[in-house]
Structure 1
Amino acid sequence: MEGQRLVNVIFDLDGTLIDSAPDIRFAVNKVLEENGAAPLDLPTVIGFIGNGTSVLMDKVIAARDLDRERHGALLERLMDFYEGATSRTTLYPGCLDALDTLREAGHRLGLCTNKPLAPARDVLAHFDLARRMDTVYGGDSLPQKKPDPAPLLAAMRDLGGGPTLYVGDSEVDGETAERAGLAFALFTEGYRHVPVAEIPHAHAFDHFDALPDIVAGLRAG
């Protein structure tokens, strides 16, 4: 339609497209089991998600009073269990249909997550998401991680620049979009740790059925 424009749509992964906390908890608790420490429950692990695996391990070490000097070794073991862990992960309802609707409308899609690239690609392949993404940035793709805007801006450049919407579930994602100067759509059913009102956003939605209309509104604008 005349006057409309295509919009790049870049997504976070954990807590946005996928509910992966059960697999993350599995990996964390395997490390704790090896070190004679008690397991962590799911709400606690969800509270640790958002700033990448290194920060996650910092919080696990603090929660179970493990030796901080072993952070590197513990993180390496976490990654041993984390890579390929997909059996407990699920897609959020309506996610695939929304992605396909956006692609059919001509929009280019990308991923910008703090999840390390290897496990991110594992889960993308497991759910047939990889072919739907035109670019993918993990937490170790660049020296910077979110909320630094560098990975998000790099993904936007890969998609050709122009109008871009970032879709995420947390205060980290909201800050990243704000620092990148991009519109942000907040998925409210993920892993945020603060109220919706405290996260800067242009749009909020609780089911992926709503996302194509949000993007259509940006396209018309």
Structure 2
Amino acid sequence: MSGAVVFDLDGTLIDSAPDLHAAGSQMLTEFGAAPVTPAQTRSFIGNGVPTLVERLMGAAGLGSDPSQHAACLAAFTRHYEASPTANTTIYPGVLAALDDLEAAGWTLGICTNKPEGPAVTILRAFGLLDQMKVVVGGDTLPVKKPDPAPLFHAFDALPDGPRLYVGDSEVDAGTAQAAGIRFALYSEGYRKTPVADIPHDHAFADFAALPAIAALAR
């Protein structure tokens, strides 16, 4: 039986917080503000780069002026795209799990709030791009997660059959819930609340468990 598994990216397949923090620190320094902590940056991830920049600006006391935000966003993007994989790592077990899912007949894809260009760059750098038959980024459509449209867009590009979305955060859970699609929560990513408080069909801390979870969706 065919079917599709779509993944979030940051906090789900990869730990990108160190590189996002580095770009944010460079941006804040450029505008005369003190860097925020890595933990703060990590807590700001999930709603797309414009929101991440807005939160970094707020934490550093730069305010929320739209023209200032636009300038900071451009600076952050420049710094991040210059080195998006310097300190980013793939979570343990991801590569084997993706291979096992493909071997079991699942088609794979990505639905992330990260802009599509950097997402593709990172997937290519880690040898994951060929496995992902669709990549939907935060700028692919006019709306981002938790609006369900990006997730529908991803699944519509993949074969019919059972559907499973895999993510790590409240945003991902809300997206799956709005779309009416089964959701598997990776508990070791960037979530801000206890697992029990995040709507999910399955939760896992080890990617070795994911192929069996996917099989339950059939």
1:55 counterpart residue number:
51
Q: Does 1:72 align with 2:70?
A: yes
TM-superposed CA distance for 1:67, in Å, is 4.4
2:169 counterpart residue number:
170
Spell out the pairing of 1:16-27 with structure 2 (5 A cutoff): 16-27=12-23
TM-superposed CA distance for 1:57, in Å, is 1.0
CA–CA separation in structure 1 for the residues paired with 2:61 and 2:216: 49
Query: Is the contact between residue 7 and residue 215 of structure 1 (CA under 8 Å) also seen in structure 2?
Result: no
Query: Is the contact between residue 94 and residue 208 of structure 1 (CA under 8 Å) also seen in structure 2?
Result: yes
RMSD: 0.9
TM-score (norm 1): 0.95
User: For 2:160, what is the secondary structure of its paired residue?
Assistant: coil
User: For 1:108, what is the secondary structure of its paired residue?
Assistant: strand
1:119 counterpart residue number:
118
2:194 counterpart residue number:
195
CA–CA separation in structure 2 for the residues paired with 1:20 and 1:198: 24
CA–CA separation in structure 2 for the residues paired with 1:34 and 1:75: 12
Percent of aligned pairs sharing the same letter? 53
1:154 counterpart residue number:
153
The unaligned stretches of length 5 or more in structure 2 are none
Deviation per CA, 1:26-49, whole angstroms, max 9, x where unpaired?
000000111121111111001100
CA–CA separation in structure 2 for the residues paired with 1:110 and 1:187: 16
The unaligned stretches of length 5 or more in structure 1 are none
CA–CA separation in structure 1 for the residues paired with 2:91 and 2:63: 36
Letter in 1 for 2:167: G
Letter in 2 for 1:13: L
Q: Does 1:138 align with 2:140?
A: no
1:97 counterpart residue number:
96
CA–CA separation in structure 2 for the residues paired with 1:154 and 1:36: 40
1:108 counterpart residue number:
107
Residue correspondences, number? 215
